[in-house]
Amino acid sequence: MRHLRLLPIAAAALALLSGCISVPPDTNKTHGPDVAHAQHAASIRLPADAWPAEQWWLDYHDPQLNALVARALRDSPTLAVAAARVASARAAFGVAAANEGARVDLASGLNRQRYSSNGFFPPPIGGAWFNDANVALRASYDVDWWGKHRALVAAALGETNAAAAEAAQARQVLAASVVQSYLRLQMLWSRQDNTNALIAVQRDLVADRNARMAHGLVSVDALQTAEQELASLREQAARHDTDAAREREGLRALIGGDAAALTDLARFQPAPAIDAVPRELGMELLARRPDLQAARWRVEAQLGRVAASEAAFRPDINLAAAIGLDATSLGKLLRYPSRTPLIGATLDLPLFDSGRLHAQLGLARSSRDELLAEYNEAVLDAVRDVAREAATLQGIARETEAHAATAAASRKLAANAEARMARGLADRAAVLQAREAVLRQRDVDLQLTDARLQTQVALVKALGGGYHTNVPALTQSDTK
């Protein structure tokens, strides 16, 4: 009881000492992202106002594509690595959480020892052998007055959430890569077919000019020009074939397929989905981009480390208690006089550490500021990505509209040429040239479609690809 009366005095001394140890002020000037600036330009408008669906690739209505994306998300080694990182982060969180709170241990021992004849104990103890048996139940509790352990647990939780968001980002990137590769392959095949049709027309045109030259109706230069164009078209067809083979191998690698994969892949003319961009981004964009969520959780984790570094300036108090038995023989071990109860407390108060605590706190705060700046930069980059892809889609729409008039005029000229030839008013060469013009306009149309498809997927990726989560506020008053 006399010792218990000293507790108020010890508590007062503790408060006095802790007041003498001040945490260095935080001069951080970096703030969280300004959501008001996370908007695209008001001039960017697309036909639909929508965010991507979770399985946005279904809008292309291609069963082959759906199967390829499902296979990639199931078998990709990249996702296996991401899943392993999530598991490691969860294990680290479990370790951090387990270090908090009470601890109870049971310890026992049995040994036989000879005491020195020239030691502290004189004979008959000195020079004799004795047994020692003990069993003890020990309990300890870290009070965590200043929240150091809680801050470390929060940091581990932030890392776990960041790893989960990065895994979601890996899934979105993989799905977008598969869709872009597949659509590019299909468009290369379509352009290859169109080029082969051009080669057939050009071959007929060469044959026509060859026949005309035999009758002296065209010069040799006109024939050589047609032959040169035919060789150029064959070169273009070979280039399309090479590009398609490279794209096919890239797609096979993305889905994790073996050498026999994609051998039965059929040709399919993809039709673009409806272009869509949300009218407003702001906080919603932060919730829908998994990479932004990962960056935010990295900041949250570092805020926990900063709080733990600040708590290290405060006294650390641990309570401990034990009850056990100790005797020089097993026969006496379980008797009442063998009891060895213990109760106590430890106080760890930093007084002088050569600036170690200040250096650790400064490093933690600097890392926090760096991560926060990277987060703010990522938010601006995300808005830029959305704006650029949406603006590109708008431009492609204008180009497509202008090209439609040109393509329609080419088809009309081809129809007129065929009608004139049917009435004997035009020769076959004019019809072949008109068909060639239509096919060349068709190639331009395929290029515009390819650009639109690729940009659509890029915009979906910039908008988060169907990912969505809550966005809790950053702590520490939004990092000052």
Q: Does residue 2 register a pLDDT over 50?
A: no
**Residue range 73-86, pLDDT digits in tens:** 998 888 888 889 88
Confidence of residue 3 (pLDDT cuts 50, 70, 90): very low
Quickly list H helices, 334-427.
356-422
N-terminal to C-terminal alpha carbon distance within the chain = 48
Question: Pick from 157, 31, 105: which is nearest to 479 by CA?
Answer: 31
The CATH number linked to 328 is: 2.20.200.10
Helix (H, G, I), strand (E, B) or coil at 62: coil
Determine the pLDDT at residue 386.
Answer: 92
Whether the Cβ atoms of residue 181 and residue 259 lie closer than 8 Å to each other: no
Q: Which amino acid is at 180?
A: Q
Determine the pLDDT at residue 477.
Answer: 53
Is residue 42 in a domain?
A: yes
The CATH number linked to 36 is: 1.20.1600.10
Whether the Cβ atoms of residue 14 and residue 315 lie closer than 8 Å to each other: yes
Q: Which amino acid is at 445?
A: D
Residues 109 and 96 in one domain: no
Identify the bridge partners of residue 326 per DSSP, sorted by sequence position.
Answer: 134
Q: Does residue 241 register a pLDDT over 90?
A: yes
Residues spanned by the domain of 139? 102-143+316-349
Is residue 21 in a domain?
A: no
Determine the pLDDT at residue 78.
Answer: 81
Residues 92 and 116 in one domain: no
Residues 167 and 78 in one domain: yes
The structural domain count of the chain equals: 2
Residues 183 and 272 in one domain: yes
* CA 85 to each of CA 91, 156, 171: distance values in angstroms, whole numbers, following the listed order: 10, 13, 14
* Weakest-pLDDT range from 60-64, 188-192, 358-362: 358-362
Is residue 194 in a domain?
A: yes
Is residue 446 in a domain?
A: yes
**Residue range 101-120, pLDDT digits in tens:** 677 888 888 888 887 888 77
Question: Pick from 89, 93, 96, 108: which is nearest to 142 by CA?
Answer: 96
Residues 299 and 264 in one domain: yes
